[in-house]
């Protein structure tokens, strides 16, 4: 019979189920062994250095940041960008560069495009009060859609003769006068554009009270422009 190589047997200690217990240690320093945490898990990381006090359970792969105003090195890598304390938030500094690698600076500025378009649903609410008698009034009311906010930008009013348009804004049923517009035969159109758009919740309303100041009945027109978000 030919000789063969035989491995050493594994001997078990006498315990409840004769388990084979082992441990993983450092090759050059066997006193440094792998530990299991209170959750029964072995903690490991693929690279980087972390602070054992501030970050005792690092992910297997994550970003470890250096302390601000410190020379980057293993001894300063003690912050995770997601760390939050009672007084501050730890975050990474960000430097913007072009896709080719050049840094953004005064001589190499970042191009920015601005737009006055507010994302949301456009509101173009028109009302025609027909044959309003002399000295009589008609209301044009609008309340934002439930759970929405109306960003009111502009109000347009028109009549073929003399008329008054009182703009009221506020809690529904308790609106307060914000502006008054007048039109006449020579100037039949009036536009009120808010310097800063007015934000109205679904508990608020805008009411335009349109009064005919002419000596005969006429139609009175009004339009609200804005965006619901």
Residues 135 and 187 in one domain: yes
Residues 144 and 201 in one domain: yes
Residues 150 and 54 in one domain: no
Number of domains in the chain: 2
User: In the structure, what pLDDT confidence band is assigned to residue 72 with cuts at 50, 70 and 90?
Assistant: low
Q: Which of 111, 138, 158 is the last residue of a domain?
A: 111
The pLDDT of residue 42:
73
What is the 3-class SS of 87-142, one letter each residue? CCECCCCCCCECCCCCECCCCCCCCCCCCCCCCCEEEEEEEEEEEECCCCEEEEEE
Residues 137 and 182 in one domain: yes
User: In the structure, what pLDDT confidence band is assigned to residue 210 with cuts at 50, 70 and 90?
Assistant: very high
Residues 149 and 76 in one domain: no
Give me the chain's average pLDDT, please. Answer: 82
Residues 202 and 146 in one domain: yes
Residues 102 and 161 in one domain: no
Residues 99 and 146 in one domain: no
194: domain CATH number is: 2.60.120.230
Task: Name the DSSP letter for residue 205.
Answer: E
pTM over 0.85: no
The answer to whether position 11 is within a domain reads: no
Residues 130 and 206 in one domain: yes
Taken in order 41, 46, 52, 57, the sign of the CA dihedral is negative
Instruction: Examine the pLDDT at 61 and tell me if it is beyond 80.
Output: no
Instruction: Examine the pLDDT at 90 and tell me if it is beyond 90.
Output: no
Question: Cα separations (Å) of 148 from 55, 98, 144, 204?
Answer: 42, 39, 6, 11
Residues 99 and 134 in one domain: no
The answer to whether position 56 is within a domain reads: yes
The answer to whether position 97 is within a domain reads: yes
The pLDDT of residue 60:
45
Instruction: Examine the pLDDT at 81 and tell me if it is beyond 70.
Output: no
Residues 84 and 163 in one domain: no
pLDDT digits (tens, 9 = 90+) for 118-172: 788 999 999 999 999 999 999 999 999 999 999 999 999 999 999 999 999 999 9
The answer to whether position 21 is within a domain reads: no
Q: Which domain holds residue 175?
A: 121-228
The answer to whether position 37 is within a domain reads: no
The answer to whether position 4 is within a domain reads: no
Q: Which of 89, 111, 133 is the last residue of a domain?
A: 111
Taken in order 17, 20, 21, 24, the sign of the CA dihedral is negative
Residues 141 and 180 in one domain: yes
Three-state secondary-structure class, residue 177: strand
């Amino acid at each position: 019979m030919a000789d063969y190589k035989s491995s050493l047997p594994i001997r078990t200690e006498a315990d409840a189920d004769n388990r084979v217990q082992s441990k993983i240690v450092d090759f050059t320093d066997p006193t440094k062994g792998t530990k299991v945490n209170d959750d029964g898990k072995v903690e490991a990381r693929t690279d980087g250095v972390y602070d054992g006090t501030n970050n005792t359970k690092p992910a297997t792969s994550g970003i470890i940041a250096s302390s601000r105003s410190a020379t980057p090195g293993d001894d300063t890598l003690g912050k995770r960008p997601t760390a939050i304390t009672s007084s501050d938030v730890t975050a990474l500094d960000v430097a913007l560069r072009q896709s080719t690698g050049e840094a953004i600076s005064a001589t190499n500025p970042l191009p920015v495009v601005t737009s006055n378009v507010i994302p949301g649903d456009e509101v173009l609410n028109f009302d025609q009060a027909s044959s309003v008698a002399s000295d009589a009034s008609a209301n044009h009311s609008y309340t934002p859609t439930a759970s929405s906010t109306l960003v009111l930008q502009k109000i347009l009013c028109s009549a073929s003769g003399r008329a008054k348009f009182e703009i009221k804004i506020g809690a529904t049923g308790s609106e307060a006068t914000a502006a008054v517009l007048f039109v006449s035969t020579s100037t039949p159109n009036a536009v009120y554009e808010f310097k800063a758009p007015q934000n109205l919740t679904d508990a608020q309303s805008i009411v335009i009270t349109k009064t005919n100041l002419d000596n005969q009945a006429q139609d009175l027109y009004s339009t609200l422009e804005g965006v619901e978000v």
